[in-house]
Structure 1
């Protein structure tokens, strides 16, 4: 004798990600950005990098004083974002005067290109659209300044980040070496986005 089917339980509708709020960083955001940097830098580092080297890099290059200098630098665009307007759950930094890596010069010659230097969001904010919102806002700001190309470097072993940048249209054009704490790290991919 077969068991009668159970009545189905109504399922809640799939949640729609709430739109991310992205804005330029203010001087008072420096501590919050440094905290996000400290919490996320290790995630983007290759597994072969010792924890003490990662921590030394954070202490020297991602502290509140350094972040405050980024925010004050007119050649940099520092953005923060969250789900609520004043949250800092992630940040991005773009540069208008960075020296391009060799693969960028090989592709563009003397044509200027903006640099997407950093994009990090806290683990609990991944998959919310925040990272994409930070990148798109930053790229739009570079485009408004007249840039038609944006380049970046990301660790070759960071599968998640590379898939993310591929999806946003950043084409892999070469490699570079990234050094943390005086230790040679595996090659980064250099990627280029060309705008309209």
Structure 2
């Protein structure tokens, strides 16, 4: 991801978050999820974020933070195209390249569509926990499903 991708990727994240989370998250958190907040958070993570684009249109992205697949979003227009599967494989490859074989991700409790996708991709739900999530007003505690995956069992980087 580059700085020139920031505005479009933040807009994708903002729309995707509200699509997946507005109905299942507390209104206090939803109110803090503004386009400006997504832009600010993503701007601080440009070096850890990767985009998938078709021409000039960004159709998905992921962000890594240490051993966590911190964010993962695909535009509605790309759902069902196979992009999500390719993008999560790219994220896993990037984690492996960084020496991380036991990554984790947080999926908001109730985000069943995402949960089904992660499970289909081989991620395993290991527990439900309360996690402080980042907001412009400071941490907000949210219940999440924690998913983990043993990448060492896959024998290394995914085939192209």
TM-score by length of 2: 0.80
Higher helix share: 2
Query: How far apart are 1:176 and its partner, in Å?
Result: 1.9
| 2:130 and 2:141 in contact (8 A); partners too | yes
| 2:10 and 2:35 in contact (8 A); partners too | no
Within the alignment, does 1:92 sit opposite 2:50 as a pair? no
Q: Secondary structure at the match of 1:37?
A: helix
| 2:107 and 2:146 in contact (8 A); partners too | yes
TM-score by length of 1: 0.67
Cα offsets for 1:111-136 (capped at 9, x unmatched): xxx21011111212111112222211
Distance 1:158 1:122 in 2: 16
| 2:22 and 2:30 in contact (8 A); partners too | no
For the pair shown, which has the larger CA radius of gyration, 1 or 2? 1
Distance 1:183 1:145, change over 3 A: closer
1:188 alignment partner in structure 2: 144
Unaligned runs of 5+ in 2: 154-160
Within the alignment, does 1:33 sit opposite 2:9 as a pair? yes
Distance 1:159 1:45 in 2: 10
Distance 1:48 1:137, change over 3 A: closer
The count of corresponding residues between Structure 1 and Structure 2 is 148
